[in-house]
Amino acid sequence: MIRRTRRDFLRASLKGAGLLAAPTIIPATALGLGGRVAPSERIVLGGIGVGNRGSGVLHWMLGEPDVQFVADCDIQKARRERVKAMVDEIHGNTDCKLYDDADAFLAERTDIDAMLVTTGDRMHATMSVKALRAGKDVYSEKPSSMTVAEGQAVVEAARRYGRVYQTGVQRLSEANFTFANELLRTGRLGRLHTVRAHIAGGGCGSHAWLPGEPEPSKDECNWDAWLGPCPWRPYNKSYVAGGWRGYYDFHTGAIGEWGAHTIAQCQVAMGLGETSGIHYGYVETESGDGMRIRYANGVTMILQQKGWHGSCGVQYEGDEGWVAVADGYSTLDTSSPALLTDFAKLTREYSLRTGRALSHVRNFFDCIKSRERTVTNEDVMHRSMTTVHCANICMWLQRDLTWDPAREAFVNDDAANRLRSRARRPGWEM
């Protein structure tokens, strides 16, 4: 029996249609020539809620040769038009399509492989779950959940639909932070006893809201869609301009703002990326500064607001030395200069051992192709954000709390357990 290949079948079909009678000119870009990636190897990307931070991430992604951004969805007209202008200039065409309704967008664009979700905090999990259910791989900016229940929903959706997920905790793919983690992993600091996680200034979420202003047209800004699952609040232009931070309805507070990064960094470095802290000690500070969180292995994490010369810092302290790093550190702070001698060796060995690029978006795109798990996959996101949420609940209730990571519940505390989720407006149920 003669076995026919797909190429034989296509050739016979074209011949039958008379399409092989004349020479055909195929653009080099369609064949992957001239340094271009062939269409069959490209990752087709879309975006939801790409604003200031999202534009930076998207620009970073568009530097990858195998990525093509084709469509953006945003309930703010000015933002979606800015994205189109940027993308069209980079791609050298006018092909980027715009949408203002996420459900319609996800239903229509079956050609899109992956979605960049960079809305405000209040919508990261909601839009991630919608995209995962629509069969998209997802890169979500952080903080990637507003509650424990939202994090659970992201994990469940990624698993059920077999999707690749990455949260934007990009420092876990940067050389300085990776080196600090490797110093800890390889035992160069001795037995670990304390880690310190940088948190932002401000409080843990005000329950006030801004005074109402006249709503713009729905095309300019769909206010109802902007609120999403959050309680109804009167429109105020400050919210849509980024002034939603600091409000309980929309934000994870000082702990979540930078702790979404630094707590994940610490937990992964400790080898505890898929669990959370078990004991949370209340502190009488506005932001949670100084809170001590204990893990099942006996290590204590201290939430620390000051003492860094850069943002999103972490410090690991063992009985043989310590290391600290934050954004902008040209050299890591250490207890001994000798700890820095193997920088190139340890970062190289990390990449060889894990197969991960020291680029957060490249790790995401590589995993889309390999179907392996990303460095900040849905479990790493959910368990680190659970620690954020538990710390916030500790501050709100103003008492110490004990968390059971296996049951994902507080021990003997009904009031705390009720705060694992929030009421969602009708039509926005998860």
pLDDT above 60 for 182: yes
Q: Containing H/E element for 71?
A: strand 67-73
pLDDT above 50 for 20: no
Query: Residue 35 has what pLDDT?
Result: 59
State how far the Cα of 10 lies from the Cα of 16, in Å rounded to an integer. 10
The structural domains of the chain, with segments of one domain joined by +, span: 171-204+251-418
When pLDDT is cut at 50, 70 and 90, the band that residue 39 belongs to is confident
For residue 373, the tally of other CB atoms under 10 A from its CB is: 16
Read off the pLDDT of residues 127-177 as tens digits, 9 standing for 90 and up.
Answer: 999 999 999 999 999 999 999 999 999 999 999 999 999 999 999 999 999
State how far the Cα of 146 lies from the Cα of 395, in Å rounded to an integer. 15
When pLDDT is cut at 50, 70 and 90, the band that residue 38 belongs to is confident
Residue in 427, 422, 74, 428 with CA at minimum distance from that of residue 240: 74
Would you say the C-alpha torsion 269, 271, 277, 278 has a positive or negative sign? negative
pTM to 2 decimals?
Answer: 0.91
When pLDDT is cut at 50, 70 and 90, the band that residue 337 belongs to is very high
**How far, CA to CA in Å, does 297 sit from each of 180, 224, 268, 278, 430?**
20, 45, 14, 10, 34
Fold topology of 171-204+251-418: Dihydrodipicolinate Reductase; domain 2 (3.30.360)
Alpha carbon 117 to its chain centroid, in Å, reads 8
Which residues, at least 6 apart from 249, have a Cβ–Cβ distance to it below 8 Å? 122, 209, 230, 231, 233
Query: Residue 40 has what pLDDT?
Result: 84
* 402: phi then psi, degrees, rounded to nearest 5: -120, 130
Residue in 282, 278, 306 with CA at minimum distance from that of residue 386: 278
When pLDDT is cut at 50, 70 and 90, the band that residue 34 belongs to is low
pLDDT above 90 for 362: yes
Read off the pLDDT of residues 228-262 as tens digits, 9 standing for 90 and up.
Answer: 999 999 999 999 999 999 999 999 999 999 999 99
Query: Residue 280 has what pLDDT?
Result: 99
| Cβ–Cβ < 8 Å for 268, 373 | no
Query: Residue 26 has what pLDDT?
Result: 46
- For 200, the token pair is 């932002």
State how far the Cα of 357 lies from the Cα of 409, in Å rounded to an integer. 35
pLDDT above 50 for 79: yes
Read off the pLDDT of residues 253-297 as tens digits, 9 standing for 90 and up.
Answer: 999 999 999 999 999 999 999 999 999 999 999 999 999 999 999
State how far the Cα of 158 lies from the Cα of 133, in Å rounded to an integer. 8
Residue 68 region, left (φ>0) first, then alpha (ψ -120 to 50), else beta? beta
Amino acid identity at 102: A
Read off the pLDDT of residues 391-419 as tens digits, 9 standing for 90 and up.
Answer: 999 999 999 999 999 999 999 999 999 99
Q: By percentage, how much of the chain surpasses pLDDT 70?
A: 92
- How does the average pLDDT of the chain come out, rounded? 93
For residue 311, the tally of other CB atoms under 10 A from its CB is: 15
Residue in 199, 170, 200, 198 with CA at minimum distance from that of residue 325: 198
pLDDT above 50 for 6: no
Give the chain's length.
430
Query: Residue 279 has what pLDDT?
Result: 98
pLDDT above 60 for 13: no
